[in-house]
Structure 1
Amino acid sequence: MRLRIDLGYDGGAFYGWARQPRLRTVQGEIERAIRTVLHLNRGSGGTLAGPDIPESADTDGTADDIRLDDIRLDDIHLVVAGRTDTGVHALHQVCHLDVDERLLARCVGHMQVTPVEALERRLQRVLPDDIAIHRISAAPDGFDARFSALERTYVYRVCDDGRFVDPRTRGFVVAIDGRLDVDAMNEAAASTIGLHDFGSFATPNPGGTTIREVKYARWERVDPHAPLHGAYGEPVPYAESGLLCFTIVADAFARNMVRSLVNGCLQVGRGRKSVEWFVGKMAEPKREGSTGPAAAKGLTLEYVAYPPDDQLASRAQAIRAVRTL
């Protein structure tokens, strides 16, 4: 069966989402945890052994027996909505997992819950503190975490104007000296909206393109005061007070696209580059040194949106086509 997994993570201690040999990644940690709770250990004679199935257990050759001949350990493979880079965070990421139902049932143990809920509970207990499982559910027909997605929303958070960075937010906020020109930055960001080749600000995957459709892109300064007041009427600040946040929504993003767009906007906001320079880079999709990515820690994947269940399969089929202008 296919499972949908909704999760979040602090990307500061990860080398990105995608599994890599000898490096700590989000995918690697979760897949390792799933193998643990499903008791995917090698037993004698090629059986899958674990706390509930001793290595010496006899098998009777029925369909209920689970053997490595039937299920490979590397079958535990997560497909994600968006592969975040090293140091990038996710408030709400989505991935899917295809798993044999016989295997899934092994994590129930003595709990009076469904196998899916049992997996969710056990993963929440064994995963490290910088990964949080929001929910695990049986995926509807046609669901593909990557290709069924309608759009992804990212937010990049900046602290400018020489203000101190709240110590609680230092892991996902980037400090910038001087006050940024938000109007100029928004003028530049407006040129990204629509279907464009973002070749000046992104790297294509093998066989892919840098053509993407941006639906929304805007810088906004968070109100410096919450709608709360102290005993004497003074405004009470909150964690994101005064931060400058860039929100961008697109059908998908190419590698380094968001952080490179952020860096371009920041150069405009600092007065180092003009709006015309940024617009020119959009018009001529050519990668060069001045459009490299901004620091990773300021970026968070906030949300992934999907269509109604009856449109999941058609969306996945349509998005697999190579984009053109």
Structure 2
Amino acid sequence: MSDEIEPGRVRVRLDLSYDGAEFSGWAKQRNRRTVQGELESAIQTVLRLPEPVDLTVAGRTDAGVHARGQVAHVDLPAEVWAVEGERLRRRLAGRLPWDVRVWKAEPAPDGFNARFSAIWRRYAYRVGDHEAGVDPLLRGHVLWHDRPVDVDLMNEAAEKLLGEHDFAAYCKKREGATTIRTLLELRWERTPEGVAVATVRADAFCHNMVRALVGAMILVGDGHRPIGFPGEVLAGQVRHSAVNVVRPHGLTLEEVGYPADELLAARNREARNMRTLPGCR
């Protein structure tokens, strides 16, 4: 699949963040408010473009999920960028709603694709287990769990999930899409405020994967299931009725990683291939 930029256009990388509470996810939907819809409308308006723009994003977050380090790209007419590029961030700040901000807008290196050039995405899921509940100022970003969770137990359980696996048991299946992923990092720690935070980093994620993984580990952390339970679910490769997909508001896309500029194009091509596990190729 070609990713050639049309002559007379420039690819622009956007770094952005948003509070997902009032969005129906990233992707455009008819009659629903989405991050992509708001951004594309704002860009077209402030640049006075006659045609709609089309954003490509690193991670299509679900309804209610937040982002601190989201990355997208858009191909714009070169003559428009030359005149308006330096003012784009400021003009978007005046046009966009309060719950989405663009922090950087700059020409992308050759071979860059926000989605296919990425080599990992890092999410955080925040859980509060204080018996009194969650700090009201954090309630939109922290899940309250009504039993204490043991971070050490959850970290021990997480070790069984690292590496390349078929995460079908933790994903909502999509026709024609693979559920094979490489989980690079999965660890829990306590903040000074007592919130349990899971850091989850993988080359890519399938639908509901992080929230299902967190749901399985919470069952270990609060004593409902043994340490080996999340690994047994993974090996079963089918959804387990005991594993809840936890609520979206505790989840934030924190960062997207890319290779060195000279490797962007190769990664762009590689990531488009359908993955299989060793022995199935």
Q: Which residue of 1 aligns with 2:70?
A: 93
Counterparts of 1:1-325 in structure 2, within 5 Å, are 1-40=10-49, 48=50, 73-74=51-52, 76-104=53-81, 108=83, 115-222=84-191, 224=192, 241-325=193-277
CA distance in structure 2 between the aligned counterparts of 1:100 and 1:168, rounded to whole angstroms: 42
- Output the CA distance in 2 between the equivalents of 1:198 and 1:191: 12
Pairwise CA distance, 1:180 = 0.8
Shift of 1:280: 0.9
Shift of 1:102: 3.1
In 1, Cα distance between the equivalents of 2:85 and 2:174?
34
- The amino acid of 2:158's aligned partner reads A
Give the AA of the match of 2:79.
R
- Which amino acid counterpart does residue 77 of structure 1 have in structure 2? D
Write the letter of the residue equivalent to 1:242. Answer: G
Q: Deviations over 1:199-229 (max 9, x none)?
A: 000124432211000111011111x3xxxxx
8 Å Cα contact 1:33/1:126 also seen in 2: yes
1:274, distance to aligned residue in structure 2 (A)? 2.1
Once residues 241 and 156 of structure 2 are traced to their aligned partners in structure 1, the CA distance between those partners, rounded to angstroms, is: 22
- Normalising by the residue count of structure 1, what TM-score does the alignment of the two structures yield? 0.80
**8 Å Cα contact 2:213-2:230 kept in structure 1:** no
Q: Does the CA-based 8 Å contact 2:233-2:240 persist in structure 1?
A: no
Greater shift after overlay, 27-36 or 281-290?
281-290
**Separation in 2, partners of 1:77, 1:291:** 36
DSSP 3-state at the match of 2:104 = strand
Aligned to 1:55: none
- How far apart are the structure 1 equivalents of 2:135 and 2:239? 35
Q: C-alpha displacement at 1:144, in angstroms?
A: 0.2
Distance of 2:59 and 2:108 partners within structure 1: 18
SS in 2 for 1:278: helix
Shift of 1:279: 1.4
Q: What is the SS of the residue equivalent to 1:99?
A: strand
Structure 1: gaps spanning 5 or more residues: 41-47, 49-72, 109-114, 225-240
Q: How many aligned positions are there?
A: 268
Tell me the percent identity.
48
Change (3 A) 1:210 1:269: same
Residue pair 1:201, 1:292 contacting (<8 A) in 2 also: no
SS at match of 2:168: coil
Shift of 1:132: 1.1
Q: 1:195–1:214: 8 Å Cα contact kept in structure 2?
A: yes
Seen in structure 2, the aligned counterparts of structure 1 residues 100 and 206 have a Cα distance that, compared at 3 Å, is farther
The Cα of 1:130 is off from its aligned counterpart by 0.4
- Conserved? CA contact 2:28–2:35, under 8 Å: yes
For 2:244 and 2:59, the matched residues in 1 are separated by: 20
CA contact (8 A) 1:162 1:178 kept: yes
Structure 2 match to 1:111: none
**RMSD of Structure 2 on Structure 1 (CA):** 1.4
Amino acid corresponding to residue 291 of structure 1 in structure 2: V
Contact 1:149-1:315 within 8 A present in 2 as well: yes
Give the Cα separation in 1 of the matches to 2:138 and 2:73: 30
Q: What TM-score, normalized to structure 2?
A: 0.92
Please give the alpha-carbon distance, in whole angstroms, between the structure 2 residues aligned to 1:142 and 1:91. 24
- Cα deviation code 1:222-243 (max 9, x no counterpart): 1x3xxxxxxxxxxxxxxxx111
| 189-198 or 116-125, larger mean C-alpha shift | 116-125
- Aligned residue identity for 2:115: R
CA contact under 8 A between 1:147 and 1:316: conserved in structure 2? yes
* Cα distance, 1:283 vs structure 2: 1.1
Distance apart, 1:174 and its partner CA: 0.8
Task: For structure 2, list consecutive stretches of 5 or more residues without a partner in the other structure.
Answer: 1-9
Cα distance, 1:163 vs. partner?
A: 4.1
Does 180-189 or 146-155 show the bigger shift? Answer: 180-189
SS in 2 for 1:125: helix
